[in-house]
Amino acid sequence: MTSLPSNGDYVQALQHPHACFRDQDLKTGTVQTTSLGMPKAISGNFASVFSITSSSGKRYAVKCFTRDVPGQNERYEAIHTALASLARPWQVGFEFVAEGVMVDGRWYPILRMEWVEDSRTLIPWLESNLGHPDRILDVAGQFARCIEDLQGNGIAHGDLQHGNLLIDSKSKLRVIDYDGMFVPSIKHLGSNELGLANYQHPGRTSSDFGPYLDRFSAWLIYGSLLSLAAHPGLWWTFRQEGDEKLLFGKEDFIPPLDTIERLGLLGSPHAEVAGLLAEMLTASNSPSSVPEFDPGRISLPTLVEHQPQRSSVSEWWRQSSANSGGINAGDAAAPVTRLGASWLRSHEAPLPPVEVVGPSKAAKALSLALTAVAMLGAVAVGAVSNLFVAGLVLLTWATVVTAGAWTLWRRSDAVVGQADARQRVRLANRELTSQRKRVEKARRDRDDLDTDERRAIQELESQRAKLSKQSKAEFERESKALSKRATTLQTALNRLDTTKAAEVQQQLKLLREQHIHAYMAARRIEPGMIHGIGETMVIRLSVYGIRSAADIAAVNGNQFMISGSNNWITIHGIGPSKASGIKYWHQRQRIAAEGDAPQALPPQKLKALDAKFADQRKQNQAALDALGPQLRQIQATVDAKYAALDREITAKVEAVRLDYRSKRAGADATVAAAVTQLQALEDALLDAQREFDRYRHVSFSAFVRG
């Protein structure tokens, strides 16, 4: 097995991209660095990834391998070849370079990948576009075409999930992370990953490696996007904040598939999505038996541009939940309509009317007889007295008879029963109104639980969001002195080459000056050597210390400045003409001396300087390297502290969810009980109303006729 460089080795090499890369874009690029100025590495299980921006501004992710995986080079070369021949809009640049980076004099492979700028992964993109179903549908269409490209070429991505789907600033879908791809030429290598479980068929194992790998995840993602385009509010119904899924996760893929079945209650396209998922999870034991992706099997939704409301979706979900317990979802949605079987009962045939029983035959006969007697009496009175008195007698009698009949009618079973039925209707209406208020309160309380849970989790997530900044600040505080020392050492290390070059120049300058002085000192002034300067003049010059070219610093007119002095002197007998001759001779000697002086340091001096600065470099690097473990220890301590805080927050979030899950179950039970009672009261009202309807024809005239 080949030994590969460590993360630290790559960090060291990438300090000099011009020397470690062969690719021109990377050679001239700028490596993203840490606060200490070192290349910033994102370390994984078997590779480290660096961000490099080329001189043209294009950004790359460069993956350098730290662990040798059997068949790794063959796998990446095959994937690279397959993708290069495909060339589709959803792809990102992906190039396997066998001799990509040089570390300690040896070439090692790299992956050079395009960095998709101004992009977001699928989940945050969806969260900001739920109010634009047309955009979601457009991305779903792009995703479908991507799957058709892969499927049509007999290859598979192997890990289709939200984190590997990017949407750029132009709403274009880009698919990343090709490490686990299947291409036919590497079938013998087998799978090197299983993908994110929330997007994979539960039957997938490490032995699954073929063109069918993406089928289940493709159906799941495409169906979820269509459902969200049709009903964006499902986002809050089917998932919690922070979930690594779209609408469904691995827990939903296990029978009895209640969550998936409830989606089907919403109609098209949700019914087709739920049906397909249920079919794949019940009839397919492995990914290979999942049907090929065919977007035509799911109807496209009719879009309405809107902002989704959480409350309406939660209402639908509770109604669906209630429906599973025997309550009709459609009826439960609006308490002013009838629930469940009550709607059917409202269409039942009416009950037979109550029979109105009038006075008995004997009573009627007696009444007629008495009426006849009263009329005869009235006639007699009229004959004896006057007609007014007779009429008054007759009217009094009629009033008495009518009052008697009215009293009998009011005491009849029909009237008493009608009054009782009316009272029962009023009482049932009052009880129903009160129960409707109780149902609404129970539902509001249930809604409040969602709001309270969301607020509690948001508060915890807000604390979590601050951890990164707090961790960084604490590390900077704890490592301030070490970081300052590291910066000083790194600066000194970076300046060594400049310092060395300056010292070389300084030593060369000194060597040349020494050589020039020796050369000039050897050029003595002899009689006749200079025009007009004979033996007498040579003696006079020597009196003033001028015996060679080295003794003359400068000549100005007939004045001389002797080397080592700042004073000008005049020598008797040497006028401007002779002085000019001496000056000319001196200049020629100077030019000759400079031309004869060495142009470079001798090899032994250069070697000594190299050794000196190599030793300094070694000392500085050793001191800098010694700081690394200390900084890493501080970082590890800080990371451990904040990782524990992060886990503590995670535990609190889970505790909140468990607590509210229990509260929601209780609240749902309360709502269901209240709705059941409401239905019972509606039935009671219907019974009372139907009973009251039996008395609609009851009247005094009917009683008299009866």
Q: What confidence tens digit (pLDDT) does each residue in 458-492 have?
A: 999 899 889 989 999 998 899 898 888 888 888 88
Tell me if 654 sits within 8 A of 404, measured CB to CB.
Answer: no
Radius of gyration of the chain (CA): 51
Tell me if 540 sits within 8 A of 573, measured CB to CB.
Answer: yes
Q: Are strands 559-562 and 568-570 parallel, antiparallel or unpaired?
A: antiparallel
b/e map 36-55, b = 16+ CB within 10 Å: bebbbbeeeeebbbbbbebe
Residue range 162-186, pLDDT digits in tens: 999 999 989 999 999 898 999 999 9
Choose among 295, 88, 111, 53: nearest CA to 174.
88
Confidence of residue 117 (pLDDT cuts 50, 70, 90): confident
Quick one: average pLDDT of 284-292? 91
Sheet of 119-121, strand order: 119-121, 165-168, 173-175
Q: Are strands 552-556 and 559-562 parallel, antiparallel or unpaired?
A: antiparallel
pLDDT at 316: 38
How far is residue 163's CA from residue 160's CA, in Å, rounded to a whole number?
8
Choose among 289, 201, 288: nearest CA to 253.
201
pLDDT at 185: 95
Quick one: average pLDDT of 65-75? 87
Quick one: average pLDDT of 385-400? 60
Is pLDDT of 457 > 80?
yes
Q: How far is C-alpha 386 from the geometric centre of its chain's CA atoms?
A: 109
Is pLDDT of 616 > 80?
yes
DSSP string, 18-46: HHHB-SHHHHT-EE-B-TTSSBPEEE-SS
Residue range 513-558, pLDDT digits in tens: 999 999 999 999 999 999 889 999 999 999 999 999 999 999 999 9
Residues pairing with 182 in the sheet: 156
CA distances from 412 to 400, 408, 442, 616 (A): 18, 6, 45, 123
pLDDT at 355: 65
Tell me if 394 sits within 8 A of 374, measured CB to CB.
Answer: yes
**Quick one: 133 exposed, middle or buried, by C-beta within 10 A (0-12, 13-18, 19+)?**
buried
Is pLDDT of 317 > 80?
no
Confidence of residue 562 (pLDDT cuts 50, 70, 90): very high
> Which residue blocks in 555-602 are alpha helix, DSSP H?
576-596
Quick one: average pLDDT of 305-326? 40
DSSP H/E element including 113: strand 106-114
Domain 7-114, what fold? Phosphorylase Kinase; domain 1 (3.30.200)
CA distances from 235 to 75, 127, 144, 491 (A): 38, 8, 21, 53
Return the structure tokens found at 694: 């039996």
Domain map (residue ranges) of the chain: 7-114, 119-308, 361-411, 495-596
pLDDT at 379: 55
Return the structure tokens found at 55: 């001189």
Q: How far is C-alpha 506 from the geometric centre of its chain's CA atoms?
A: 59
pLDDT at 320: 39
How far is residue 439's CA from residue 486's CA, in Å, rounded to a whole number?
68
Confidence of residue 268 (pLDDT cuts 50, 70, 90): confident
Confidence of residue 587 (pLDDT cuts 50, 70, 90): very high
CA distances from 86 to 92, 142, 185 (A): 11, 16, 15
How far is residue 150's CA from residue 29's CA, in Å, rounded to a whole number?
33
Residue range 622-668, pLDDT digits in tens: 888 888 888 889 989 999 999 999 999 989 988 998 898 888 788 87
Is pLDDT of 301 > 50?
yes
Q: How far is C-alpha 204 from the geometric centre of its chain's CA atoms?
A: 26
Whole-number mean pLDDT of the chain? 84
pLDDT at 365: 52
Confidence of residue 315 (pLDDT cuts 50, 70, 90): very low
pLDDT at 373: 54
Q: Which of 146-155, 203-212, 326-335, 594-603 has the lowest mean pLDDT?
A: 326-335
Dmax (CA) of the chain: 205
Tell me if 691 sits within 8 A of 423, measured CB to CB.
Answer: no
Quick one: average pLDDT of 132-150? 95
How far is residue 267's CA from residue 509's CA, in Å, rounded to a whole number?
91
pLDDT at 131: 85
In degrees rounded to 5, what are phi and psi of residue 534?
-100, -160
- Per the document, the length of the chain is 706
DSSP H/E element including 324: helix 310-324
Q: What is the CATH number of domain 119-308?
A: 1.10.510.10
**Quick one: 255 exposed, middle or buried, by C-beta within 10 A (0-12, 13-18, 19+)?**
exposed
Is pLDDT of 394 > 80?
no
DSSP string, 164-189: GEEEETTS-EEE---TT-B-GGGGGG
pLDDT at 535: 92
pLDDT at 416: 74
How far is residue 215's CA from residue 160's CA, in Å, rounded to a whole number?
10
Quick one: average pLDDT of 338-346? 40
pLDDT at 702: 62
CA distances from 58 to 27, 54, 61, 79, 121 (A): 13, 5, 10, 23, 20
Is pLDDT of 334 > 60?
no
| Higher-scoring residue by pLDDT: 497, 157 | 157
Is pLDDT of 49 > 50?
yes
| Higher-scoring residue by pLDDT: 105, 377 | 105
How far is residue 47's CA from residue 62's CA, in Å, rounded to a whole number?
10
Is pLDDT of 37 > 50?
yes
pLDDT at 226: 96
Return the structure tokens found at 148: 């058709």
E strands, 282-336, in order:
none
What is the value of pTM for the model shown? Answer: 0.47
Is pLDDT of 199 > 90?
yes
**All residues at 6 or more sequence positions from 486 whose CB lies less than 8 Å from its CB, including other chains:** 36, 624, 627, 631
Residue range 89-101, pLDDT digits in tens: 999 988 999 899 9
